[in-house]
């Protein structure tokens, strides 16, 4: 059943701010969006589980799986926040069927303009520089997805993922500068080549402990050009970003069945809800956070590589 996402922004009345970009300040933003609400905005309705000083977790109302946020250094500092999915959260050091432990980072007075878009099953979070989309491509922007994949097979018990980056596995951003590591975010899909994608870790659909790597196959085949010169694009395409088994054409599942025939390790795992790639890039003089209309309104994600961005997120309706 389609869902209507809610949009939360740093410039909403009563919205929490990044402040000094410490772990507690960044998690407070997520807490307000997921659990408590702020101003006149109701929360998405996720359930808070862990509530430690430097680690916390939230469970969604779909698959019932969780995301764990923790300090990268074990201190309440500004060195970044770790993000990791888990089937079950028993304790801060006792997690079952975990995903990669990745990270996002926010720099004071730089990428502090945050936008969260989500439902009770999934959400995206972005921390970006306010300004035009043609800002230097090496400026650090943060963006990640957490939650259930859309269009997954019925009965898939492992469709919950947490993805900061498809080009690395476990990442730590403690030493990252504001002009480096710009590929460690989900927006880098706008530019990444297929060979750069390591993939995200997804477990077998029947609840087993075996896992495979899944990568998006849509964006790498898009040409970066042309660059439109006006804010009006007369025609475009919208293509969902599906996650494919990284070796779907040759691999077998744990029972010896080819991936293209497997029910426990499906070749196509689902799509990132609401996220689309377009054929024609968008004007670089638009100001973050900009929206474009293709029947529904879409948030234009931030460019990271000095090329027109083709990633847009539907902010009106998501597939289930």
Q: How far apart are CA 220 and CA 27, in angstroms?
A: 32
* Contact between residue 159 and residue 149 where contact means Cβ atoms under 8 Å apart: yes
Q: For the segment 178-215, what is each residue's pLDDT rounded down to a tens digit?
A: 887 667 889 888 877 777 888 999 999 999 999 999 99
What is the percentage of the chain residues whose pLDDT exceeds 90?
A: 71
Q: How far apart are CA 20 and CA 243, in angstroms?
A: 35
User: Would you tell me how many other CB atoms lie within 10 Å of the CB of residue 250?
Assistant: 9
Instruction: State both tokens at 98.
Output: 């975990």
* Contact between residue 187 and residue 174 where contact means Cβ atoms under 8 Å apart: no
Full-model pTM: 0.95
Q: For the segment 254-297, what is each residue's pLDDT rounded down to a tens digit?
A: 999 999 999 999 999 999 999 999 888 888 888 999 999 999 99
**With 0-12 CB in 10 A as exposed, 13-18 as middle and 19+ as buried, what is 261?**
exposed
Domain ranges of the chain: 6-314
Q: What is the pLDDT of residue 222?
A: 59
- Whole-angstrom CA distances from 277 to 40, 110, 299 are 32, 26, 12
What is the percentage of the chain residues whose pLDDT exceeds 70?
A: 94
Torsion angle in degrees (nearest 10) through CA of 98, 99, 100, 102: -100
Q: For the segment 160-182, what is each residue's pLDDT rounded down to a tens digit?
A: 999 998 877 777 788 888 887 66
Q: What is the pLDDT of residue 167?
A: 79
Q: For the segment 8-57, what is each residue's pLDDT rounded down to a tens digit?
A: 999 999 999 999 999 999 999 999 999 999 999 999 999 999 999 999 99
Q: How far apart are CA 7 and CA 270, in angstroms?
A: 23
* Contact between residue 126 and residue 114 where contact means Cβ atoms under 8 Å apart: yes
């Amino acid at each position: 059943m389609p869902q209507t996402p809610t949009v939360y922004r740093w410039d909403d009345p009563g919205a929490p701010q990044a402040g000094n970009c410490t772990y507690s300040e960044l998690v407070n933003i997520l807490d307000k969006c997921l659990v408590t609400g702020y101003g006149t905005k109701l929360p998405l309705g996720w359930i808070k589980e862990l509530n430690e000083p430097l680690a916390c977790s939230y469970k969604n109302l779909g698959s019932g799986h969780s995301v764990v946020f923790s300090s990268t250094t074990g201190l309440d500092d500004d060195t970044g926040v770790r993000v990791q999915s888990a089937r079950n959260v028993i304790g801060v050091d006792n997690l079952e069927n975990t995903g990669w432990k990745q990270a996002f980072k926010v720099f004071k007075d730089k990428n502090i303009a945050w936008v969260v878009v989500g439902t009770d099953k999934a959400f995206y979070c972005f921390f970006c520089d306010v300004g035009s989309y043609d800002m230097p491509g090496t400026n650090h922007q943060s963006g990640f997805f957490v939650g259930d994949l859309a269009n997954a097979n019925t009965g898939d018990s492992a469709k919950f993922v947490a993805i900061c980056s498809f080009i690395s596995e476990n990442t730590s951003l403690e030493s990252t500068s504001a002009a480096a590591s710009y590929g460690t975010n989900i927006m880098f899909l706008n530019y990444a080549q297929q060979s750069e994608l390591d993939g995200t870790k997804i477990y077998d659909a029947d609840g087993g402990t075996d896992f495979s790597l899944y990568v998006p196959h849509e964006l790498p085949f898009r040409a970066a050009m042309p660059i439109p010169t006006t804010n009006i694009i007369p025609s475009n395409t919208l293509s969902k970003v599906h996650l494919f088994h990284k070796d779907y054409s040759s691999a077998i599942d744990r029972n010896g069945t080819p991936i293209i025939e497997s029910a426990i390790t499906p070749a196509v795992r689902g799509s990132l809800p609401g996220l689309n790639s377009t054929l024609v890039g968008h004007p670089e003089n638009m100001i973050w956070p900009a929206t474009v209309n293709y029947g529904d309104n879409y948030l234009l994600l931030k460019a990271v590589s000095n090329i027109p961005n083709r990633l847009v997120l539907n902010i009106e309706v998501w597939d289930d």
